[in-house]
Amino acid sequence: MADLFIDYEVLAETSTRLAFVADKFVSAGADAVAIADAAAGHEVLQTAILRSAADWQFKREKLVNKMGQAAASATDIAKSFEETDNG
């Protein structure tokens, strides 16, 4: 029977990266406002940017939630396997 190898560092890094991406999605709305502000004088562009950000708000929230769950799961899996290995 083959041994099962779990790389705890990879799982920890996965959790960290998922949390980082989730944070970027959280700040996306504020980033869109900043970009729209930078487009001062271009009302059509400002409106399009803000509308796009608003339209994606619900989807971003769902993605952030799922990424948070996945990050927590990766951490929990690593802890569980490590506890089992260390008995």
Sequential pLDDT tens for the chain (87 residues): 567 788 888 988 999 999 999 999 988 888 888 988 888 788 999 999 999 888 888 899 999 999 999 999 999 998 888 888 887
Q: Give the C-alpha separation, 8 to 6, whole Å.
A: 6
Task: Let me know: does 18 contact 72? Beta carbons within 8 Å.
Answer: no
Which is nearest to 81 in space by CA: 21, 2, 8? Answer: 8
Q: Give the C-alpha separation, 21 to 47, whole Å.
A: 26
CB atoms within 10 A of CB 28: 16
What pLDDT score does 16 carry?
A: 93
pTM of the model: 0.72
Task: Let me know: does 6 contact 81? Beta carbons within 8 Å.
Answer: yes
